Amino acid sequence: MEQAKIKELVQKMTLEEKASLCSGRDFWHTDSVDRLGIPSMMMSDGPHGLRKQEDEGDHLGINDSIKAVCFPAGCAMAASFDRDLLTRLGDVLGNECQAEDLGVVLGPAMNIKRSPLCGRNFEYYSEDPYLSAELATAYINGVQKHNVGTSPKHFLANNQECRRMTCSSEVDERTLREIYLASFEGMVKNAKPWTIMCSYNRINGTYASENKLYLTDILRGEWGFDGFVVSDWGAVNRADKAVESGMDLEMPSSNGAGTREILKAIEAGTLKEEAVDAACENILSIVFRFAENREANAVFDRKKDHEISGEMAKECIVLLKNEEILPLSEDKNVAFIGQFAESPRFQGGGSSHINSERITSAMDCAAGLRVTYAQGYDAKTDTMTPEMKAEAVEAAKNADVAVLFVGLPDAYESEGYDRSHMRMPACQNELIEAVAEVQPNVVVVLHNGAPVEMPWIDKVKGLLECYLGGDAVGRAQVDILFGRTNPSGRLPETFPIQMEDNPSYPFYASDEDIVEYREGVFVGYRSYETRKTKVLFPFGYGLSYTKFAYSNLTVDKTSMKDNEQVVVSVDVENVGGREGKEVVQLYVAPPKGRVIRPVRELRGFTKISLQPGEKKTVTFTLGKRAFAYWNTEIHDWHVEDGTYQIQVGTSAHDIVLETGVTVECSTLVKRIHHLNSTLGDLMRDPTKTEAVEMLKKQLAEGSLQMEEKEDSDAAKEAMNQEMMMAMMNYMPIRAMKSFGGLSEEKLQGMLDQINNA
Choice between 100 and 573, CB closer to ligand BGC: 100
For the bound state, the minimum distance from the C-beta of residue 106 to ligand BGC, rounded and expressed in Å, comes to 4
Q: Does 351 bind ligand BGC (CB under 6 A)?
A: yes
Q: Which x/- pattern, by CB under 6 A, does the window 653-692 give for ligand BGC?
A: ----------------------------------------
Nearer to ligand BGC, 74 or 542 (CB): 74
Q: How far apart are CB 92 and ligand BGC at their closest, in Å?
A: 19
Q: Which string of x and - marks every residue 186-225 that binds ligand BGC (by CB under 6 A)?
A: ----------------------------------------
CB of 45 to ligand BGC, least distance (A): 5
Task: Count residues near ligand BGC (CB under 6 A).
Answer: 7
Question: Minimal distance in Å, beta carbon 249 to ligand BGC?
Answer: 13
Using CB under 6 A as the binding rule, whether residue 393 contacts ligand BGC is answered as no
Asked if 250 interacts with ligand BGC (CB under 6 A), we say no
Do residues 163 and 116 make contact, with C-beta atoms less than 8 angstroms apart?
Answer: no
In angstroms, rounded to a whole number, what is the distance separating the alpha carbons of residues 622 and 646? 10
Write out the binding residues for ligand BGC, residues 251-280 only, by CB under 6 A.
none
CA atoms of 85 and 92, how far apart (whole Å): 11
Verify binding: residue 48, ligand BGC, rule CB under 6 A: no
Residue 233, interface with ligand BGC (CB under 6 A)? yes
Helix residue ranges per DSSP H, 598-688: 624-627, 679-684
> For 285-343, what is the HEC assignment?
HHHHHHHCCCCCCCCCCHHHHHHHHHHHHHHHCEEEEECCCCCCCCCCCEEEECHHHCC
Which distant-in-sequence residues (6+ apart) come within 8 Å of 376 by Cβ? 337, 338, 339, 384, 388, 389, 391, 392, 404, 406, 428, 431
Shortest distance in whole angstroms from residue 236 CB to ligand BGC: 13
107 vs 469, beta carbon nearer ligand BGC: 107
Are the C-beta atoms of 494 and 371 separated by less than 8 Å? Answer: no
Q: Please give the residues from 273 up to 312 whose contact with ligand BGC meets the rule CB under 6 A.
A: none
Each residue 447-486 as x (binds ligand BGC by CB under 6 A) or -, in order, gives ----------------------------------------
d(CA 415, CA 496): 22
Shortest distance, position 59 Cβ to ligand BGC, whole Å: 3
134 binds ligand BGC (CB under 6 A): no
Q: Which is nearer to ligand BGC, 195 or 351 (CB)?
A: 351
Candidates 161, 185, 232, 640: give the one binding ligand BGC (CB under 6 A): 232
Q: Is 153 in the site for ligand BGC (CB under 6 A)?
A: yes
Please report whether residue 104 would count as binding ligand BGC according to CB under 6 A. Answer: no
Catalytic residue among 82, 232, 418, 562: 232
Task: Give CA–CA dist 478/550, Å, rounded.
Answer: 30
Q: How many CB atoms lie within 10 A of CB 170?
A: 16
Q: By three-state DSSP, how is residue 610 classified?
A: strand
Among 22, 75, 106, 679, binds ligand BGC (CB under 6 A): 106
Nearer residue to ligand BGC within complex by CB, 57 or 487: 57
Task: Please report whether residue 45 would count as binding ligand BGC according to CB under 6 A.
Answer: yes
To the query of whether residue 232 is one of the catalytic residues in this protein, the response is yes
DSSP string, 493-522: S-EESSGGGSTTGGGS--SSSEEE-TTTT-
Beta-carbon neighbour count of residue 296 at 10 Å?
Answer: 6
CB-closest chain residue to ligand BGC: 59
Residues 56-95 that bind ligand BGC (CB under 6 A): 59
* CA distances for 428 relative to 110, 380, 388, 722, angstroms: 30, 13, 11, 64
Q: Interface residues for ligand BGC in 689-728 (CB under 6 A)?
A: none
> For residues 351 and 111, is the Cβ–Cβ distance under 8 A?
no
CA 431 – CA 395 distance, rounded (Å): 12
- Other Cβ atoms less than 10 A from the Cβ of 445: the count is 26
Q: Minimum distance between the CB of residue 417 and ligand BGC, rounded to whole angstroms?
A: 12
Partners of 495 in the β-ladder: 537
Among the listed residues 102, 94, 20, the one whose alpha carbon sits nearest the alpha carbon of residue 54: 102
Residue 540: burial class (beta carbons within 10 Å; 0-12, 13-18, 19+): buried
* Geometric angle at alpha carbon 630, from 206 and 644, rounded to 5°: 155
CB of 515 to ligand BGC, least distance (A): 17
Contact footprint for ligand BGC (CB under 6 A): 45, 59, 106, 153, 232-233, 351
Known catalytic residues are: 232
